[in-house]
Amino acid sequence: MSFSGIESVTFGVADMEEARRFLDDWGLRQLSATADRLVYETKDGGQAIVRPKDAPDLPPAIEPGNTVREVIWGTADEAALRDALARLGDTEPGADGIHRTRDPNGLSLGFTVSRRRKVVTEATPANAPGTPRRLDRRSPVHDHAEPIKIGHVVLFAADFAAMRAFYTERMGFIVSDEYPNHGAFMRCQVVGEHHNLFILNRPGKPGVNHVAFTVTDIHEVIGGGLAMSRKGWKTEIGPGRHPISSAYFWYFENPLAAPVEYYADDDYCTEAWQAQTFERKPELFAEWAIAGGIDGKTRRQVVTVDNSGRGHA
């Protein structure tokens, strides 16, 4: 396969200072900050780039408001990049040397040799009767999260068939699981995380559903989510667990785009992974989930219902 993962996501926003505050709280490391451009990075060097939404050099938005304006995909080396560009066929290099095209939604995509660093982490071992794996140590309590990578993006597809064909046939992504004609979970490598891209059918209305940041384990999902709650950021939904992909999650509203997600412990696929089809229904979005989140001070559930209307089902 040609691609190794997401190098960067660029957002166009109305309020740069509020975006900066969010990224600081989210746990990313600031690389640079000016009135016109914020650059933050994950532990592995993946970048969240923020620009004013009316910046003339930004790619066009695919939906109104704050949103993702570009996703850059990385390759392992120059040979893989050449292979990817040959598969795509109609890319054009920009002034920065990055070749670009647009997907059927109109979203700008770029391609470059990856500069991300390899990060090796150890999730907290779990103890089970007869199989103790965490000996003489307590499970951690995190007071914040430090995202490891930009794990995936989720897009609403204005033309689902065209989007599915583009990413599988031209980008070479593999479908890990699917809601037939409604949603497709795709990974960019044969061996890798369950999905780097998920597309959801929303005829005639392209958009961004969310951007997801990988953390170490469920303890960091919870600790990071509680920290964001203490700092006043509103939960969209979570914490919870996805039965498809198996990941634990927590989504937050934010000044960058659609909700962003902390997640951990997703399925890891090889050539032996058996893709399945599922009916699109609420219980397959979440095995369980807390609407409204957990209050960061009381550590108790915020009593509410999920009125987001964003198609989680």
How confident is the model over 203-242, as pLDDT tens digits? 999 999 999 999 999 999 999 999 999 999 999 999 999 9
Domains within the chain, CATH numbers bracketed: 3-113 (3.10.180.10), 149-289 (3.10.180.10)
Q: How confident is the model at residue 313 (pLDDT cuts 50, 70, 90)?
A: very low
pTM for this model (two decimals):
0.95
How confident is the model over 98-155, as pLDDT tens digits? 999 999 999 999 999 999 999 999 999 999 999 999 999 999 999 999 999 999 999 9
Could you please report the per-residue DSSP string of 97-158? S-EEEE-TT--EEEEEE--PPP----PPPPPBTTB--S-S-PPP--SS----EEEEEEEEES
pLDDT at site 151: 98
How confident is the model over 33-63, as pLDDT tens digits? 999 999 999 999 999 999 999 999 999 999 9
Torsion of CA 297, 303, 309, 311, to 10 degrees: 80
Strand pairing class (183-187; 235-241): unpaired
